[in-house]
Amino acid sequence: MAVTTTPSAATDRFWLLRVTKEYWFLVTLLTSLALSGVYMVVFHVTPWDTYRQIEMRRNRVALHDRIGQRLLESGQYGLAIAEFDRALALDALDDPARAGRYLAELFIALPQPTWDAVVWSAERDALLQLAGTRDQAIDHIVEKYLGDVELRIGNLDQAAGHYERALAAKPDYPDALYMCALSATSSDQAIALLREAAQQSQRASNLRTAQLNVMVDFGEVARAVFPQVSQFFHEEAMKLLDDPETSKLSQVTDILDARLLRSPDDRHVYIRTNNDRHAWVRYELALDHLAESRSIDNIEHGRAERAEHDRLFAEARKLDASGDMLNIYQDQLKILDQFNPPRTDSTKF
């Protein structure tokens, strides 16, 4: 007896192909969602994590830009270039960092014996376009540089005009105040300008202390969520302390006030000496590595992070003769335990 295949049976064999052809968009979408879900599960990545990383990178770029601009204002051109380079390492197209770095290089070149007024004339138009068109945050610095150049080539009236425009853009700009005082028409006006410039210079000299505070604070905020970002900020703070320029500034004698956030009686710890600063930052960095050891699944990596914590803690303890900085460590450890508690399998590490 011959067996024949009915048309309906043949059609049923290819039902999957038919459905795929008719609903190809829906099938593609579901497949994409399924693969994305598998990727997020395997690599522990979510779109929200990516967004936060982008946002934190943007904030770091803005931070380096602001610090670089303040260093430009205070005449620390080499340090300003270093800050702008850090911003450009994160975002190569960051216009404020590129403009600020260019200005810092111009300021450095101006007093050099190889500086050529002919070359300056070619740069003048570009700088005039930069002032008031691209980045309002550095208008006053551009005007200050233009004034310095005019002063060097002997155009005193033009120089005074640039300094006045710099002060119009930023009335508390100490360098411009000094230069205006030099060209003041009366002694009373000159004395008043010099007094104001001295006050502003003292504020500018506190910049490095403010920068150190910002670095440590940013690190503390990031620790529970992104320990690696926290490490970055505290390593930057360590570089700041090791910077030979910092030791020349008056604020190395400033007393910093650290509030213990978990203290029931609102206790404060005072960071008085250079050793206190180094111990403080090392304790913070040790906590970053401890947080990292709690956030990873790789056993060897976890052990390495815990060992780095122990090393930094020992270094900090040697520097912390009074033991006061240890109170900050213990306070921050309580916060870390709350948001990123010790692992139940911590004995592995």
**Among residues 232, 213, 293, which one has the least CA distance to residue 53?**
232
Q: Which domain holds residue 258?
A: 207-348
Q: What is the pLDDT of residue 26?
A: 73
Query: Does any domain span residue 8?
Result: no
* Same domain, residue pair 178 and 298: no
Angle at 332 between CA 330 and CA 337, to 5 degrees: 90
Section 328-349 average pLDDT: 76
Q: Which one of 145, 179, 204 terminates a domain?
A: 204
Checking if the pLDDT of 35 tops 60, the result is: yes
Give the pLDDT mean for 77-105. 88
How far, in Å, CA of 290 to CA of 240, rounded?
A: 23
At 298, is the secondary structure helix, strand, or coil?
coil
Q: Could you say which DSSP state residue 269 is in?
A: E
Share of the chain above pLDDT 90, in %: 12
Pair of tokens at residue 105: 């290089």
Tell me if 97 sits within 8 A of 88, measured CB to CB.
Answer: yes
Are both 58 and 119 inside the same structural domain? yes
φ/ψ of 274, rounded to 5, equals: -65, -40
Q: Which of 149, 180, 204 is the last residue of a domain?
A: 204
Ranges of H-type helices in 206-226: 207-223
Which is more confidently placed, 186 or 333? 333
Q: Is the model's pLDDT at 276 over the cut of 50? A: yes
- Cα 65–chain centre separation: 8
**Cβ 319 vs Cβ 279: under 8 Å:** yes
Domains in the chain, number: 2
Altogether, the residues listed in the chain come to a count of 349
Structure tokens at 71: 């260093």
- The answer to whether residues 182 and 211 belong to one domain is no
Between CA 214 and CA 309 the distance in angstroms is 22
Tokens of 279: 């111990």
Helix, strand or coil, per DSSP, at residue 345? coil
pLDDT above 60: residue 199: no
Q: Alpha-carbon distance 69 to 135, whole Å?
A: 11
Specify the pLDDT at position 53: 74
Q: Looking at residue 117, which CATH number applies to its domain?
A: 1.25.40
Task: Give the separation between CA 43 and CA 49, rounded to whole angstroms.
Answer: 12
How far apart are the C-alpha atoms of 61 and 128, rounded to whole Å? 26
For residues 78 and 243, what is the distance between their CA atoms, to the nearest angstrom? Answer: 12
Judge contact between 305 and 290, C-beta under 8 A.
yes
pTM above 0.85, yes or no: no
* Average pLDDT over the chain, rounded to an integer: 73
DSSP for residue 340? S
Task: Decide if 37 is inside a domain.
Answer: no
Mark whether 153 and 223 lie in a shared domain: no
Whether residue 191 is found in the same domain as residue 71: yes
Cα separation, 318 vs 71, whole angstroms: 33
Residues 236 and 187 both lie in one domain: no
pLDDT for 121 equals 67
Give yes or no: residues 281 and 178 share one domain.
Answer: no
* Span between the terminal Cα atoms of the chain, in Å: 75
Co-location of 153 and 213 in the same domain: no
Whether 3 has a pLDDT exceeding 50, the answer reads no
Rounded distance between C-alpha atoms, residue 100 and residue 327, angstroms = 40
Cβ atoms of 147 and 176 closer than 8 Å: yes
Q: Which residue in this structure is represented by tokens 């500018």?
A: 204
Please identify, among 184, 204, 224, the residue that sits at the C-terminal boundary of a domain. Answer: 204
User: From CA 154, how far away is CA 158, in angstroms rounded?
Assistant: 9
Cα–Cα distance for residue pair 111/134, rounded to 1 Å: 26
Confidence of residue 135 (pLDDT cuts 50, 70, 90): low
Instruction: Verify that 160 and 269 share a domain, yes or no.
Output: no
Residues 195 and 53 in one domain: yes
Q: Are residues 236 and 195 in the same domain?
A: no
**274-295 and 207-223 helices, crossing angle to 10°:** 20
**213: its two tokens:** 């505070």
Shared domain check, 200 and 53: yes
